[in-house]
Amino acid sequence: MAAFAWRDKGDILIDRGKCLESLAQSKKQMVKKNYKDALDAYKNAIDQCPEPSILLKAHALNEEESALNNLNIHAWKGEKDALYMLIVHALEGKGDALDALDPDNKNYEVYKTYMESIDKLDKFIRINSKDADALSTRGNILRKIGLYDDALKDYEKAIKYAPPYSPSTKAKALTGKGDVLAELGNKEMACDAYNAAKQVDENYIPASNGI
């Protein structure tokens, strides 16, 4: 099984390079407000990202192999998890670009794209229930489609499980919580969340934008 996993890894890492390049290009276009070009780049990223089902299978292999103390496979766990999140971020970005092109949300494709990313996150979180980045990302997408209660639950879990070595992860969740509270009209509690994010990571720019 280990040989199978490593054979797949070579193909997956090639796809990762292509996906990361398209994601970087799409983000640049979003900053420039070239939303059509950003949308095309996100679509390319989605096509180029490693197949999620392969990564979930690799995750299962990891669980089996780690019991045998196969350190190479065990060390790849975090990398596989990060790879799986690429397709999620690409789909979320596609939804953002579609939303920017259709601010009145008349296009069902926006909602459909966000729901597709949530579906993939649900599968991922099912086997990574304490992954703070995944929980926070799902919270962001739930907030974008107006499911504020569910978003808050994910942010609270992300805050709880955020690893101490990654302050930006906790700051991201606190900022997301602040965004939900602000959209619900609770400005005071929103400011508390933004300030908490700044205390955790003073360099986290989105928290400063919220204050």
C-alpha–C-alpha distance, residues 201 and 159, integer Å? 13
| Highest mean pLDDT: which range of 41-50, 99-108, 139-148 | 139-148
- pLDDT of amino acid 77: 52
- pLDDT of amino acid 76: 44
- pLDDT of amino acid 57: 52
- For residues 10 and 101, the model is more confident at 101
Q: What is the mean pLDDT of residues 52-77?
A: 45
Cβ burial 90-109 (10 Å sphere, 16+ → b, else e)? bbbbbbbbbbbeeeeeeeee
- pLDDT of amino acid 96: 92
The pLDDT confidence band at residue 142, using thresholds 50, 70 and 90, is: very high
The CA R_g of the chain, rounded to the nearest whole Å, is: 18
Global pTM value: 0.78
- pLDDT of amino acid 70: 39
Question: Residue 161: is its pLDDT beyond 60?
Answer: yes
Q: What is the mean pLDDT of residues 133-153?
A: 95
- Residue 40 has, within 13 A of its CA and on its CB side, a CA count of 4
- pLDDT of amino acid 134: 92
Q: What is the mean pLDDT of residues 82-95?
A: 84
- pLDDT of amino acid 138: 96
For the chain, the average pLDDT equals: 80
The answer to whether the beta carbons of residues 183 and 148 sit under 8 Å apart is yes
C-alpha–C-alpha distance, residues 139 and 134, integer Å? 8
The pLDDT confidence band at residue 72, using thresholds 50, 70 and 90, is: very low
Question: Residue 75: is its pLDDT beyond 50?
Answer: no
